[in-house]
């Protein structure tokens, strides 16, 4: 079932026709003015990539104007009707809360919510909000909704990632770990010794596409490569990140899990945005990683089968517990914060 003509729908939602950075008052309202530290949370890692003067952004906007066509969004004329996310239309909605964690002022928060409500189909993952926020800076809101539709449904990209319990991501985290064992066996052993499972940290790279983990200049290149290459680029990027932090990781004691986390998440405290070369090298290395798609597909199929077998055991055990105890077992839903979710996925993978 398809929605009404998209252009009419976007007009009805009164979404602005230009990217956020071209909308009047954006920098005044969101950029922190004379105190850049007071900027919208999303802009924390701008690192002077996007400028307050429109003319200075001309080259980058010419580049991002081509993004919809990279993923086929330029051919989308209507969107499927979606199930509203829990609490839709109220401030109780996870979409509202994520918009508030992304932008400071209501005009931009509301546009972000409207775009998400067009595409989030009854379920949601914070990573979707990360992508949406960053895309809205550089691409008109109507085109962002079409891009999200393509990324979330086309097998070339990451369908199944944007769910409260994203099994597709858990599968790819398992694949990533197999690739680390092949390419960086010492790191794989170190992570195993520290009991650090990828579900707990790799969401930043795979589901959130490194938003909040890299300065904007490098992030633009990550988005462009992902839109061009699809999911394969995410595996290349993950290996490039591991390669970039390998030395520091192996020098960190496996008992210092927090420090290992900071390295894997490319924490701004450890890797300053001003260390441009470090981030640029990761993106360049990712583009040159030699990875055969046929091998990755086989690993994906094997990991999916292993995950489903694991889930079957979990479900059987849950049923046993229900049968033993008439009290209803409650599970946390998509409203839980990212850390809770990471923990939940980690527990799932460890079953």
For 27-46, the pLDDT digits (tens) are 999 987 667 678 999 999 99
- Residue 14 Rama label (left phi>0; alpha psi -120 to 50; beta): left
Q: How many CB atoms lie within 10 A of CB 338?
A: 15
Task: Please tell me the number of Cα atoms within 13 Å of 278 on its side-chain side.
Answer: 18
Q: Work out the average pLDDT over 47-57.
A: 93
Q: Work out the average pLDDT over 95-110.
A: 95
For 238-259, the pLDDT digits (tens) are 999 999 999 999 999 999 999 9
- Contact, 109 vs 99, CB < 8 A? yes
- In this prediction, residue 204 carries a pLDDT of 92
- Residue 164 has φ and ψ, to the nearest 5°, of -55, -40
Percent of the chain whose pLDDT exceeds 90 = 74
Percent of the chain whose pLDDT exceeds 70 = 90
Which helix (H) or strand (E) segment is 183 a member of?
Answer: helix 167-183
**CA–CA separation, 289 and 151 (whole Å):** 22
- In this prediction, residue 37 carries a pLDDT of 77
For 205-243, the pLDDT digits (tens) are 999 999 999 999 999 999 999 999 999 999 999 999 999
Q: How many CB atoms lie within 10 A of CB 337?
A: 12
Q: Work out the average pLDDT over 295-307.
A: 96
- The two tokens of residue 114 are 């409207």
Which helix (H) or strand (E) segment is 216 a member of?
Answer: helix 216-229
pLDDT band at 326 (very low <50, low <70, confident <90, very high): low
- In this prediction, residue 324 carries a pLDDT of 77
**CA–CA separation, 167 and 228 (whole Å):** 24
DSSP 102: T
């Amino acid at each position: 079932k398809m929605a009404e003509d998209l252009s009419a729908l976007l007009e009805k939602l009164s979404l602005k026709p230009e990217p956020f950075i071209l909308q009047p008052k954006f920098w005044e309202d969101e950029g922190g003015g004379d105190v850049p530290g007071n900027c919208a949370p999303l802009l924390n890692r701008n690192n002077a990539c996007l400028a307050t003067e429109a003319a200075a952004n001309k080259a980058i906007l010419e580049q991002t104007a081509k993004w919809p066509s990279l993923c086929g969004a330029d051919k989308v004329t209507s969107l499927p009707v979606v199930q509203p996310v829990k609490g839709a239309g109220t401030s109780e909605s996870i979409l509202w809360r994520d918009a508030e964690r992304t932008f400071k002022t209501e005009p931009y928060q509301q546009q972000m919510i409207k775009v998400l409500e067009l595409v989030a189909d009854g379920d949601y993952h914070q990573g979707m909000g990360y992508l949406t926020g960053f895309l809205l800076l550089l691409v008109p809101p109507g085109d962002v909704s079409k891009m999200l539709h393509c990324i979330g449904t086309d097998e070339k990209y990451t369908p199944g990632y944007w769910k409260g319990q994203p099994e597709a991501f858990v599968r790819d985290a398992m694949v990533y770990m197999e690739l680390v064992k092949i390419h960086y066996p010492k790191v794989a052993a170190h992570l195993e010794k520290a009991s650090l499972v990828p579900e707990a940290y790799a969401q930043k790279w795979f589901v959130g596409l490194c938003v909040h983990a890299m300065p904007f200049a490098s992030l633009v290149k990550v988005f462009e490569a992902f839109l061009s290459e699809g999911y394969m680029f995410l595996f290349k990027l993950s290996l490039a990140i591991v390669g970039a932090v390998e030395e520091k990781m192996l020098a960190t004691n496996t008992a210092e899990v927090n420090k290992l986390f900071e390295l894997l998440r490319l924490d701004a405290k450890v890797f300053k945005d001003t260390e441009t070369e470090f981030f640029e090298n990761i993106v360049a290395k990712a583009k040159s990683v030699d990875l055969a798609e046929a091998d990755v597909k086989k690993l994906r199929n094997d990991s999916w089968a292993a995950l489903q077998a694991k889930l079957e055991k979990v479900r059987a055990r849950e049923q046993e517990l229900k049968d033993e105890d008439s009290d209803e077992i409650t599970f946390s839903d998509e409203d839980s914060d990212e850390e809770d979710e990471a923990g939940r996925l980690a527990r799932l993978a460890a079953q």
